[in-house]
Structure 1
Amino acid sequence: MSAADLARLQFAATTGIHWLFVILTMGLVPFVAIMHTRAAFTRDPVRRVVWERMARFWGQLYVINYAVGIVTGLVMEFQFGLSWSGLSKFAGNVFGAPLALETLIAFFAESTFLGMWIFGWGRLSRGVHTTLIWLVALTAYASAYWIMIANGFMQHPVGHEVRDGVAYLTDFGALLTNPNALVALAHIALAALTTGGVLVAGISAFHFARGTEETDLFRSSLRLGTVVSTLASFFVIIVGDLQLPLIRRTQPMKAAALENGDIAQVRAQLVKEHGPGDYVFAHDWLRISMDAMTVIGNTVSTIMLIAVLLLWKDWLVRWRPLAYLLTALIPFPFIASVAGWIVREVGRQPWIIYGELKVEDALSPVSRASLVVSCTVFIAVFVALAVTNWTLIARFARRGPVATQLGTTEPIADEDPHGHADGKQRVPAL
């Protein structure tokens, strides 16, 4: 493999694994926020307890995913300088600010709000505590917005001019409203909600299939997960189709590959527009990924619609094979989302910034040996983190609410003169 291929493999593998954390973060946090809100403002004391235990159980799974995933996120932006210094030199003036804002939001604002929410159980008022989890959700989606602004510029560069081989921002509004970024963000948000809903429904169905005493908790979780994922999976297909006219207009070679168009004619058009070059990329990867995303998306949408109908009279959980089917469905939205990411990134080759900067010109002057070492180490570490994350999530999900530690406190007896309860302080545990 060439140095460029190794750099692409490293970035593709690390970003792809990181995306598995991101889509679950975006997909699960709205559910936790809804549950916490219901717990805070439901008047029925029995239902309040159920919703609070739901928020703590699913919130713990979210915290595990966020804590491990943020480690993978630290590496992403460093790779621009490590392997793609040409990209930073050319476009740093344009999307340096969006990437900086994403870092501030994800690693400072979101982490701060989440930490306050974790340690706020029993310490903060209901309104403040509920506001914190909604701020976590808001910053998660704001972080995704800034990332998609940067990626949208790479897909369809707008609002800039090139002077002496360097891009300079001339229209910040055009950058922020780039259709290639906004439509893709809507598609990603709906895919994330589908993923989160399938996870919530699948784990809930698993507990019903095994037999659980937590029927109220998992019945409410199952209903919420199936309804949200059904709606989101339906609209994610519609929004995905909305991207096709934009692709035809801005990336004709990708459109030709997806729609079995005239590749030779498009290549001639690109040569005329951008000069000599081989603008034909690995179309097989594109078609396979597109087919996988489409088939999985339609399958998940159909199954979740059937699941919603079977919620009536608890038919969904009374028939054990159906409950296990929902559990087996959990990985598929993740697979579909990775396939969609491949379609988006592979389809613009050989450009790293479409029509402006080619991949080979963006590569850092790094030796092939260095890239072999860094590629091996990064992929090994990221795979280990992914395995750790899913092992922890599976373990706590399987144990159920009885193993939930988020928001728990020590039982309080009469305080001693030093403000302790039987010698123990009331300290929330993680």
Structure 2
Amino acid sequence: MNLSERDKKIIWHPFTQEKTAGFSIAIKKGYGSYLYDENDKSYLDLISSWWVNLHGHAHPEIAKAIYEQSMALEHVIFAGFTHKPAVELCEKLHALLPKVLSKFFFSDNGSTAVEVALKMAYQYWYNQSDVERTIFLSFEGGYHGDTFGAMSVGAKSGFHNAFAKLLFSVLTVPFPETWNGDEEVENKEEHALEVLQNHLNTCSDKIAALILEPLVQGASGMKMCRPEFINKVIRLVREYKILVIFDEVMTGFGRTGSNFALEQTEIIPDFLCLSKGLTGGFLPLALTVTTEKVYEAFLDKNFTKAFAHGHSYTANPLGCAAAIASLNLLMRPNTAESIKKINNAHQEGLALLKTCVNIKYTRIIGTIAAFDICNYSTAQKLKVECLEQGLLIRPLGNSVYLLPPYSTSDLELIEAYGKIQNILKSIT
């Protein structure tokens, strides 16, 4: 019995209908932008293994940092204790972020980073005896994770319908997704702002916070909006003293062409959620970053105002060491150059795909490129054929996206687009 068969007998995989799913591909190693299966077949990882891998698989500098840290300290309780990797990581991030984002709270993954922000936002008001602020604002199609708070604010994403009766109250706003050549974007934005204003007119004093994925809604299909729309939304909600949460779990660390998507707006949020690429794809780690003003609302001689939240592996030293190494790589000039080359290759690649009559809504930001295909079944055929030809993609519904590690060369990416073009022409 090979590894894939053994897997099928015992493993329950995420986001998978196990009844209809075939055998999983057994991967034995990764190097650079490629994964290798048991038979040494290579796959160009065009989705950064669920958007976590920044610099390529098995990067030796990150691996070395983890090894060296493991020989000194693998873990320590983070209540009443601290360690150098945690402090150094937060100092490095603070230097990259707007200075007002100065307090860092560790957790384990993107969902919990969001959960922390939601709980902090609610308790911020609660600690000031403003107990009526129990409602959150979010965008239709937004996806913020799979814990109950995160599911609640992503309630209209379609991922969590089975849990609808268990989720808390959320007001949603249409997301004015746009693409190359979109002539209706201003009308869509105006409508979204009208819906938002109606919510504010009705119950602004009951809204704790607005949460959004700045510039790109990832899991709903790499849907993109304009920075000027984000600016208008945040200015409006702040007229009503509503807190703002930026979920940059996916968009952080260079994905949108800047270190963080917030840099392309005029906005500094009250909370910033980070994970995925934080450790360069090596280990689970997350941060919720907030302001001194929010932090001070939790300070009191009485413990009841403290933020009573934590995880056993909070600020794990190995994860922190990986994140420091990944940040050091991110800050190198050659990484910025790679990000530019990937963007240019996306431009060239999507222009190539325009010869395929079955695609529409092409869109690019930074290292993220996406297009919609005629239907779901065609997208799934494309996925299967790409795997046959050594390309790892994972369509989101009928949306196909490419989000490669920064180790991917422009030539590799253009070659991948050529293969996708040929496959699309053959299956439709």
Question: When the two structures are superposed, what TM-score results if normalisation uses the length of structure 2?
Answer: 0.25
Structure of higher CA gyration radius: 1
Question: Higher strand share goes to which structure?
Answer: 2
